């Protein structure tokens, strides 16, 4: 029951409200700087929608932060495939060649001659 009292007091605390407002402002500036209108619109709409259910600004801004961050995280991870990189980077001693329409790394043709010269 002590946790419930702590949660209620934090939702009414003035400094918690200021902290949530600061975090919200930083997120909004971040969405502006990366030009992400979807997250901005979702933030505003979710804040307005949550206002219909609660008059507590900490709750309203928290819901808006949660909704916009879930959207942003989903957009960031949408194009990530585990273990794969876009483009092909061949290592030292390898050449990039196209085989059957696909780029692949193969050992460089002159690497054998270089290794034989190093042995001499």
**Among candidate residues 76, 108, 77, the one with its CA nearest the CA of residue 94:** 108
Q: Where are the domains of the chain?
A: 10-77
**Total-model pTM:** 0.62
Q: In a structure prediction context, what are the per-residue pLDDT tens digits for the chain, which is 120 residues long?
A: 688 888 888 888 999 999 999 999 999 999 999 998 999 999 999 999 999 999 999 999 999 999 999 998 888 776 655 555 555 567 677 777 777 777 777 777 764 545 555 555
Position 66 scores a pLDDT of 95
**Among candidate residues 58, 41, 60, the one with its CA nearest the CA of residue 50:** 60
C-alpha dist (Å) from residue 32 to 1, 37, 78, 98: 41, 8, 21, 41
Check residue 86 and report its DSSP letter. Answer: S
């Amino acid at each position: 029951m002590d946790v419930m009292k702590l949660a209620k007091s934090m939702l009414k605390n003035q400094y918690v409200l200021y902290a949530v407002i600061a975090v919200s402002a930083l997120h909004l500036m971040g969405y502006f700087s990366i030009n992400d209108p979807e997250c901005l619109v979702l933030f505003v709409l979710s804040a307005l929608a949550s206002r219909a259910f609660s008059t507590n600004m900490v709750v309203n801004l928290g819901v808006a932060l949660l909704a916009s961050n879930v959207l942003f995280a989903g957009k960031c991870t949408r194009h990530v495939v585990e273990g794969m990189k876009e483009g092909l980077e061949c290592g030292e001693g390898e050449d990039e060649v196209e085989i059957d329409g696909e780029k692949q790394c193969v050992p460089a043709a002159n690497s054998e001659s270089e290794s034989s010269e190093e042995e001499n």
